[in-house]
Amino acid sequence: MSCKRIGIIDSGIGGLTLLKELLDHNYAAEYFYICDQANVPYGGKSQDFMLSQTQKMVKRLKEKNVDLILLACNTLTVNTISKLRESFDHPFVGIEPYLNYLNRCQEAQKQIALILTEATYKSERFSDLQTKFDHKNQVAIFPLKKMAMLIEAWGTAKKSFNEVESEIQLELSPLKNKGYTHLILGCTH
Ligand code: DGL
């Protein structure tokens, strides 16, 4: 299926990382990006709230006659994609934390950490991913409360990097000096 009009949804600017990848790989299409910056971050929001907001964004994208909708947001994917597929007759593609890296990484010495939002961490879908790819809980999971918002503030020039750096350092401090060799980014921000 070659998609010529692709809708992209995130809570804020995080999804732009996936749009950049699509453009860098010369995937020719018309892109329609929509996000809910009035309510970012989603990481602390309820599933019902996220579903309601995302349904509104899907309706806006359908007005643009997109062929496919990319949920460029781990939090939205694990919390809403199943319900979106039930309520809309439309192809959706999502993104989920790459836990299977544990099994794909060939390096002998590997201590893997994964950062993600709280709403991703608490979701049933993420728990299923852990059961499927990491039933021994070898990957250290770190739900972060503020990271997405800090990146959103920096990325939209509301705050300079100097203003957010110390808070980002604080968010990541539980990972410091623990010997982690790999970090999985389970959030598009
Ligand atoms: N960028 C999103 C993700 O991949 C959500 C961040 C947020 O709004 O909390 O989870």
What's the pLDDT tens digit per position in 119-138?
999 999 999 999 999 999 99
- C-alpha distances (whole Å) from 155 to each of 7, 19, 24, 60, 77 are 21, 15, 19, 24, 22
Give me ligand 1 centre to Cα 100, in Å.
Answer: 20
| 113 in Cβ contact with 140 (< 8 Å) | yes
- C-alpha distances (whole Å) from 140 to each of 22, 57, 136, 185 are 29, 33, 11, 12
Q: Which of 21, 35, 76, 114 to mutate to test the pocket of ligand 1 (most atoms within 8 A of CB)?
A: 76
Q: Tell me the H-state helices in 92-187.
A: 101-104, 118-121, 124-133, 147-155, 161-172
pLDDT digits (tens, 9 = 90+) for 32-88: 999 999 999 999 999 999 999 999 999 999 999 999 999 999 999 999 999 999 999
Give me ligand 1 centre to Cα 117, in Å.
Answer: 6
pTM of this prediction? Answer: 0.95
Percent of the chain with pLDDT over 70: 99
CA gap 50, 80 in Å, rounded = 7
Give the position of tokens 């997405």. Answer: 148
Measured from the CA of 40, which atom of ligand 1 is nearest? 8
Is there a cis peptide before residue 41, judged by omega within 30 degrees of 0? yes
DSSP letter for 105, please.
Answer: -
Q: What is the CA radius of gyration of the chain?
A: 17
